């Protein structure tokens, strides 16, 4: 079977032929239909991701496919059923074996492309806003990188939770996508006085930051007393340093958030969140945005779009027909 593998850290991934594996105890084997790309795939290639596997490994964190076989002790999902799985790796291949406990049935109304774009982006934003920041109706939420993979879902979920949502993204096209997702206010990321623009809108209760750098610094300075700042990621490559004395003066809370970490110590939190999100999707309250799709042979082109921050929403790799 084909697999897009990293054979050495800091080397380009290569499409290679490998032998298909059989599911171990507690696993299912999937015929993979689609795989969503994530910024973490880029970090793994450099060995900079917190959960980078030992080389060689197959890229691809979130997968949608059809169950081909069940490992020892697995009773469900049934063979032939459509499921989505967060595997952490192994998704950019024709087949893969994954923990059966992480498999979620895909709603009939959801395509394989949507399913592969759903779990990490929506799961991150829902747990971050609902469980960690405890966003309340009427509060002001600013989303930095609001047209990106997780940022766009934060706009959508924040609005669904009753927040006043400010979207910060670069360029009119990206801001328009954020507006369609429910943003109440739009600010271009090139705004020279982002702090002033946020203050003019009344200041911020919750900051959702997947970018870091100067945008973080400006949003931090626009925070109201008792604001919460969610550190989601650092797509800018600049990890901001936080002045603790400013936290003290305004009683600001900075919250680190890593969605995948909950699978290790509170997996039930993730499962419950995803069930809620799938229900919202079935009810027509969530609308998955996939800006680009590529076949497996062109997966590295999709990664370059992520690296250059030229995509919006998610990039999905099509591996097999639905």
> What pLDDT was estimated at residue 161?
97
Same domain, yes or no, for 114 and 138?
Answer: no
- 80 and 108 assigned to the same domain: yes
Q: Using the 3D structure, point to which of 260, 278, 305 is the last residue of a domain.
A: 260
Whether 256 and 183 map to the same domain: the answer is yes
Cis (ω within 30 of 0) for the bond into 77?
yes
Residue with tokens 């925070």: 223
Q: Which of 169, 173, 88, 126 is nearest to 272 (CA)?
A: 126
Domain contains 182: yes
**What is the CA angle 272-274-278, rounded to 5?**
120
For the whole model, what pTM was predicted?
A: 0.92
Query: Could you tell me where the beta strands, DSSP code E, fall in the chain?
Result: 2-6, 14-17, 27-36, 57-58, 62-70, 82-86, 95-99, 104-105, 140-144, 164-169, 185-188, 204-209, 223-231, 253-256, 290-295, 314-318
Is the Cα torsion angle 215, 227, 312, 264 positive or negative in sign? positive
**Residue 199 has what pLDDT?**
97
**235 within a domain of the structure (yes/no):** yes
Judgement on whether residues 69 and 94 belong to the same structural domain of the protein: yes
* Dihedral angle computed from the Cα positions of residues 59, 48, 127 and 70, in that order, rounded to the nearest 10 degrees: 30
Same domain, residue pair 49 and 38: yes
The tally of domains found in the chain comes to: 2
Report how far residue 85's alpha carbon sits from residue 271's, in angstroms, rounded to the nearest whole number.
11
Looking at the fold, whether 39 and 107 belong to one and the same domain comes out as yes
Q: Nearest-CA neighbor of 238 among 276, 211, 269?
A: 211
Kindly state the greatest CA–CA separation across the chain.
Answer: 60
| Res 252: pLDDT | 96
125 and 201 fall within a common domain: yes
DSSP classification of residue 246: H
Helical H segments across 1-127, by residue range: 39-45, 112-116, 119-126
Chain CA centroid to CA 171, Å: 21
Same domain, 126 and 243: yes
Q: How many CB atoms lie within 10 A of CB 224?
A: 16
Asked if residue 266 belongs to a domain, the reply is no
Q: CATH number for the domain including 213?
A: 3.40.50.720
What CATH number does the domain containing 312 carry? 3.90.180.10
- Smallest Cα–Cα separation from 6: which of 119, 96, 65, 93? 93
Residue 282 lies in a domain: no
Q: How many Å apart are CA 240 and CA 238, to the nearest integer?
A: 6
pLDDT value for 322: 56
* Residue 275, domain member (yes or no): no
Q: Does the residue 272 lie in any domain? A: no
Secondary structure letter of residue 20 according to DSSP: P
> Which residues on neighbouring strands pair with residue 5, listed in sequence order?
14, 58
**Residue 208 domain boundaries:** 121-260
Q: What is the mean pLDDT of each run of 10 residues along the chain (322 residues)?
A: 96 94 96 96 92 94 97 95 95 97 93 96 97 98 96 98 98 97 97 97 97 95 97 87 88 94 91 93 96 96 93 95 61
Structural domain contains residue 271: no
Cα distance between residue 280 and residue 285, in whole Å = 5
Q: What does the alpha-carbon distance between residue 168 and residue 197 come to, in Å, rounded to a whole number?
A: 11
Please check whether residues 170 and 256 belong to one and the same domain.
yes
100 and 161 share one domain = no
**Statement to judge: residues 131 and 243 lie in one domain:** yes
Q: Could you tell me if 301 and 172 lie in one domain?
A: no
Classify residue 45: in a domain, yes or no.
yes
| Contact indicator for 148, 171 with CB cutoff of 8 Å | no
Listing DSSP states for 261-285 in one string gives: GHHHH-HHHHHHHHHHHHHHHHTT-
């Amino acid at each position: 079977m084909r697999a897009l593998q990293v054979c050495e850290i800091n080397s380009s991934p290569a499409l290679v032929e490998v032998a298909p594996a059989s599911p171990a105890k507690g696993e299912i084997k999937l015929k993979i239909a689609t795989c969503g790309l994530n910024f973490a795939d880029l970090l793994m290639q450099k060995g900079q991701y917190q959960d980078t596997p030992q080389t060689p490994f197959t890229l691809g964190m979130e997968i949608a496919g059809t169950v081909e076989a069940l490992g020892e002790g697995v009773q469900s999902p049934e063979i032939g059923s459509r499921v989505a799985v967060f595997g952490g790796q192994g998704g950019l291949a024709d087949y893969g074996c994954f923990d059966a406990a992480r498999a979620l049935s895909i709603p009939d109304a959801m395509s394989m492309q949507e399913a592969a774009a759903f779990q990490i982006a929506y799961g991150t934003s829902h747990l971050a806003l609902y469980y960690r920041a405890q966003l309340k109706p009427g509060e002001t939420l600013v989303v930095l990188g609001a047209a990106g993979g997780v940022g766009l879902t934060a706009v959508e979920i924040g609005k669904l939770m009753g927040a006043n949502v400010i979207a910060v993204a670069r360029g009119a096209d990206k801001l328009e996508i954020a507006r369609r997702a429910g943003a109440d206010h739009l600010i271009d990321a090139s705004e020279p006085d982002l702090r002033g623009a946020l203050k003019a809108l009344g200041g911020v209760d919750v900051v959702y930051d997947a970018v870091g750098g100067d945008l973080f610094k400006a949003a931090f300075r626009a925070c109201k007393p008792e604001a919460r700042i969610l550190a989601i990621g650092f797509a800018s490559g600049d990890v901001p340093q936080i002045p603790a004395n400013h936290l003290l003066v305004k009683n600001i809370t900075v919250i680190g958030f890593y969605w995948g970490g909950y699978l290790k110590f509170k997996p039930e939190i993730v499962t419950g969140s995803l069930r809620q999100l799938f229900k919202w999707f079935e009810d027509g309250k969530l609308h998955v945005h996939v800006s680009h799709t590529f076949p497996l042979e062109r997966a590295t082109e999709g990664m370059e779009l992520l690296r250059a921050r030229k995509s919006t929403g998610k990039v999905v790799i099509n591996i097999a027909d639905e």
